[in-house]
Structure 1
Amino acid sequence: MENKIEQLKEIINESNKITFFTGAGISVASGIPDFRSIGGLYDEISKKGLSPEYLLSTEYFQNDPDGFINFCHEYLLFADKKPNIVHDWIAELENEGKSLGVITQNIDGLHTDAGSEEVDELHGTLNRFYCIECDQDYSKSEVIEKNLRHCENCGGPIRPDIVLYGEMLNQSTIFSALNKIREADTLVVLGSSLVVQPAAGLISNFEGKNLVIINLDSTPYDHDADLVIHEDMVKVIEALKNEA
């Protein structure tokens, strides 16, 4: 892996418009299991005979808003989860002016927690909640600390600002993500299988110099990449920082 770390270091040093694209794998080191991995949300709920897709759908929220928010409190709100070294590294490069920002498939909000400001959250974020009746905003910390299920202003149901099954991705977020990819000289993919559409299809719009993929498993875009590292990304970034 040493040669690949050297190559990654060279690419990062020579790049001035890096865009990051992240998936569930980046948050595993923060204690958030991959959605479909053993021990992940899908696995845990399926064992109880429930459908994760239904519980995360607009249909379920409309049919049983109380059940939906109770589900969010039990399975989605990770009050104790913090950004890891990879989130921090991405935020540092943005702060240094070398990165255009990050595009993420994750809803955990850890990129913004790490200090990244230019974040396109394709599937929304659990860091924001809102009342569907009066649009009152709530932070994740408020919802957790006050154990909120209903709006303090009007009593209406509150929900996280995430994209549920049956909803469209936010178009302005998609356009922002496309601009980041098209303007980038380097695109670094971290912890994504690049199979979930339409998010993963954004990668095909990259026309810059270096495509880097860091993921434990192979992806459909490996053959197009200039550098592929199938290793634990925490170890990769630790090694990279030690080389700096």
Structure 2
Amino acid sequence: MASNIEQLKEIINNSNKITFFTGAGISVASGIPDFRSMGGLFDEISKDGYSPEYLLSADYLQDDPTGFMNFCHKRLLYTDKQPNNVHQWIADLEKSNQSLGAITQNIDGLHSVAGSEKVDELHGTLNHFYCTNCHKDYSQSYVISNDLSHCEACGNAIRPDIVLYGEMLNQETIVNALSKIRQADTLVVLGSSLVVQPAAGLISNFEGKHLIIINKEPTPYDRDANLVFHEDMVTVINELNN
């Protein structure tokens, strides 16, 4: 891996329009389980006759707003999880003006917590909640500390600012993400299988010089990449920064 690390270091040092694309793997490195392989969650929910997809759907929010928020509190809001060194590395490169920012499939908001400001969150963020009626805003920390499920102003349901099953992605976010990818001289993919849309469609728009993929499992874009690491991303970035 040492020669690849040196090559990665050279590419990063000589790039000034880096775009990062991150998936579940970067969150897993912070201790947040991948929704699609949460280790028993699917089995636990199926005993009650529900699917995880339904519990994260616009239908469930409408059918049972309190139940929906209870699910969020129990399964989605991780008060003890913090950004890891990969989140911090991405934020630092943005601050040094080497990066155009990050695009993420994750909803945990850890890029922002790490200090990244140019983040396109394709599926929204758990850092922000709002009332479905009067649109009063709430922070995640306030929702957690007050065990909030209904609006304090009007009493209606609140919800996280994430894209639920049955809802459309935010088109402005997609446009911004496409712009980042098309402008990039280097695109670094971290912890994404690149098989779930819109990820695959977005990545195919990259026309820059260097595509780097750091993901434990192979992706459909590995053959197009200049560098591929099927390694733990925390280890790779630690080696890079040594």
- TM-score class, shorter: over 0.9
Equivalent residue, structure 1, for 2:223: 223
Name the SS for the 1:70 alignment partner. Answer: helix
Equivalent residue, structure 2, for 1:183: 183
- Amino acid aligned to 1:177: A
Separation of aligned partners in 2, 1:190 and 1:51: 28
What does the per-residue CA deviation read over 1:77-132, in whole Å, with 9 as the maximum and x for residues that have no partner? 01111000000000000000000000000000000000000000000000000001
Spell out structure 1 runs of 4+ moving beyond 3 A: 40-49
- Amino acid aligned to 2:110: L
The TM-score with structure 2 as length reference comes to: 0.97
Spell out the pairing of 1:165-180 with structure 2 (5 A cutoff).
Answer: 165-180=165-180
Separation of aligned partners in 2, 1:62 and 1:226: 46
Measured on the aligned residues, the alpha-carbon RMSD in Å equals: 1.2
Equivalent residue, structure 1, for 2:16: 16
Equivalent residue, structure 1, for 2:146: 146
Equivalent residue, structure 2, for 1:5: 5
- Amino acid aligned to 1:117: E
Gap change, CA 1:41 and 1:86, over 3 Å in 2: farther
Name the SS for the 1:30 alignment partner. Answer: coil
Separation of aligned partners in 1, 2:47 and 2:217: 25
Separation of aligned partners in 1, 2:236 and 2:46: 33
Equivalent residue, structure 2, for 1:195: 195
Separation of aligned partners in 2, 1:103 and 1:65: 29
Equivalent residue, structure 2, for 1:136: 136
Separation of aligned partners in 2, 1:140 and 1:208: 37
Equivalent residue, structure 2, for 1:236: 236
Equivalent residue, structure 1, for 2:124: 124
Contact 1:41 1:75 survives alignment (8 Å): no
How many residue pairs get aligned? The number is: 242
Gap change, CA 1:207 and 1:43, over 3 Å in 2: farther
Separation of aligned partners in 2, 1:218 and 1:201: 17
Give 1:199 deviation, angstroms: 2.8
Give 1:46 deviation, angstroms: 4.2
Spell out the pairing of 1:4-83 with structure 2 (5 A cutoff).
Answer: 4-39=4-39, 41-42=41-42, 45-46=45-46, 49-83=49-83
- Amino acid aligned to 1:240: L
Contact 1:9 1:240 survives alignment (8 Å): yes
Separation of aligned partners in 2, 1:99 and 1:48: 45
Identical-pair percentage: 75
Separation of aligned partners in 1, 2:224 and 2:50: 38
Give 1:50 deviation, angstroms: 2.5
Equivalent residue, structure 1, for 2:206: 206
Separation of aligned partners in 1, 2:132 and 2:111: 26
Gap change, CA 1:43 and 1:186, over 3 Å in 2: farther
The TM-score with structure 1 as length reference comes to: 0.96
Give 1:27 deviation, angstroms: 1.1
Separation of aligned partners in 1, 2:45 and 2:241: 38
Name the SS for the 1:8 alignment partner. Answer: helix
Contact 1:34 1:40 survives alignment (8 Å): no
Unaligned stretches of 5+ residues in structure 1: none
